Structures are given as C-alpha cells and as structure tokens.
C-alpha cells in the first residue's frame, strides 16, 4: 500500500541488481553477516514503523524492532519462505510487542524509570533546542499525532488489528488467518475499534 512518506519506489534496474530476500537469507545461513545487514537495511524502516505504531513511542519501538531482527537472525534456520520475509518479521514484531506488554502487566508497580522521568522535567526542558530523536519527527502534523495517541489508548487486541489493517495493509482475510479468528469477528472488532477511536478523538474530529 503506497503511503505518504514512503520511500521512492526502486526502479526495475535497481531491483534487478538486488539479491532477493531468500538469497540473502541463504547467504546469512552460510555465515555471511553482510547479507543479513542488507536485510536489515532493506526492512528496518517498515519494521520500526510497525513497532512505532504498536508502541506509540520511539524508545519502545526501537527496542521491539531491534529484538525482532535478533529473533529473526536466530531463527533463520526455520524460515521456509511460505510467506514473504516481511510478513514473517511483521508477525515476529507483533509477538514481541505483545510479549513485552504481558511482562509489563505482570509487574504493575511504578518502575524506577518512571520515577526518574518525573523528576527530570528540568532536564527534559533543556533538550528542546536539540534535534529530536529520529522517531519524534515522525508525527509532523497534529492529525497524525492525535491519531497515534488514540491508537495507543486502544486495548491491545483492537490496537493490533488496527495496525495490521491500516499500517501493514493486510486484508480482513489475512488478519483472520493470522489471528485464527472468523472473518466476521475481525470485521466487527475493527469496526468497534474505529468507533472507539472516534470516542477518543471526539474533541479533535475537526482535524480529520
């Protein structure tokens, strides 16, 4: 799905010169680390983008995206190529995100990190003049920011579906297959998610 901010499409000549993902995977299995580096370069933006849309902040997104590539690296032996490499790493990214959420819920106490953030407002202010972290430039417009904030407030099961549909560009059928749910359930959950977003954004609908 073409999206604003997408990288310019590669020309056919460029594409022809590039080894495809399967070849790079094969070379990585044979111990060629530059091949995996090429895979990272090729897919890191989309993987990070997916993680960012799920997590809603650049730090957690980078953490999830990095772990996703590490897990992919460690399980390349089991990759059969039934789905595309991107589909595979998308699924791994989503699972890592959900695992991290589960761990967080299991330890609900306020972490030291949060305490530090609270008394660091003076420090934070000093950084306003610096270039923002790369992920923070993502939401250039108010609309994107409002939408991402609202998505981040959805319960996980709705958030994951919204991201699969609207960010990964998966069809209802593909989501149903990936989630092991009837297609009707996927459709009604997504409909409810959109109505929930409308509720969350009710004071900002003029942005859309």
Partner 1 sequence: MKCDRALELVSAYCEGGLGVALSVPFEAHLAGCDGCRAAADDVARLHRGLSALPLVSAPDALRVEIWRRIDVAERPAVPARRFVWRLGPARIAVAAAGAALIVALAGRTVLPGAFRSAGWSHWLTGGQTARLQPQASGVPFAAGAISLQTDKAGVTLSVPVTNTSKSPVVFSASVAQGDGDDAPTVTVPPGMSAVLSASVADGSNATRLNVRWKQGPVTGVAEYSPRR
Rg (CA), the chain: 19
Q: Which of 16, 106, 110, 112 binds partner 1 (CB under 8 A)?
A: 112
Q: Does 5 bind partner 1 (CB under 8 A)?
A: yes
Q: Does 109 bind partner 1 (CB under 8 A)?
A: no
Q: Which of 60, 94, 158, 178 binds partner 1 (CB under 8 A)?
A: 60
Q: Does 138 bind partner 1 (CB under 8 A)?
A: yes
Segment interacting with partner 1 (CB under 8 A) among 11-19, 90-98, 137-145, 175-183: 137-145
Burial (Cβ within 10 Å: 0-12, 13-18, ≥19) of residue 49 = buried
Q: Does 123 bind partner 1 (CB under 8 A)?
A: yes
Q: Does 159 bind partner 1 (CB under 8 A)?
A: no
Give how far Cα 132 sits from Cα of 45, 97, 137, Å: 18, 24, 7
Segment interacting with partner 1 (CB under 8 A) among 11-19, 38-46, 81-89, 91-99: 38-46
- Cite the DSSP H helix spans in 3-84: 12-17, 21-29, 33-55, 58-74
What does the alpha-carbon distance between residue 26 and residue 36 come to, in Å, rounded to a whole number? Answer: 10
DSSP assigned state of 80:
-
What does the alpha-carbon distance between residue 160 and residue 143 come to, in Å, rounded to a whole number? Answer: 20
Map the footprint of partner 1 across residues 80-99, applying CB under 8 A: none
Q: Give the footprint of partner 1 on this chain (CB under 8 A).
A: 1, 3-7, 37, 40-41, 44-49, 52-53, 58-60, 62-63, 65-67, 69-70, 73-74, 111-113, 115-117, 120, 123-124, 126-127, 130, 133-135, 137-140, 143-144, 147-148, 151, 162, 165-167, 187-188, 190-191, 194-195, 197-198, 201, 205, 208
């Amino acid at each position: 799905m073409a999206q604003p901010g997408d990288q310019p499409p590669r020309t056919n000549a460029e594409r022809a010169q590039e080894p495809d993902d399967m070849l790079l995977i094969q070379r990585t299995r044979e111990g060629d680390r530059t091949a995996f580096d090429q895979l990272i370069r090729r897919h890191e933006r989309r993987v990070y983008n997916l993680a960012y849309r799920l997590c809603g902040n650049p730090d957690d997104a980078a953490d999830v995206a990095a772990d996703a590539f590490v897990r992919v690296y460690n399980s390349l032996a089991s990759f059969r190529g039934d789905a595309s490499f991107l589909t595979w790493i998308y699924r791994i990214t989503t699972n890592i995100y959900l695992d991290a959420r589960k761990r967080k819920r299991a330890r609900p106490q306020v972490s030291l990190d949060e305490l530090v953030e609270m008394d660091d407002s003076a420090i934070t202010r000093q950084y306003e003049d610096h270039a923002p972290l790369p992920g923070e430039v993502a939401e250039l417009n108010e609309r994107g920011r409002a939408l991402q904030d609202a998505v981040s407030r959805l319960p996980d099961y709705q958030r994951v579906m919204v991201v699969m549909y609207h960010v990964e560009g998966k069809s209802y059928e593909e989501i149903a297959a990936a989630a092991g749910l009837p297609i009707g359930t996927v459709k009604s959950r997504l409909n409810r998610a959109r109505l929930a977003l409308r509720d969350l954004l009710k004071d900002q609908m003029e942005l859309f």
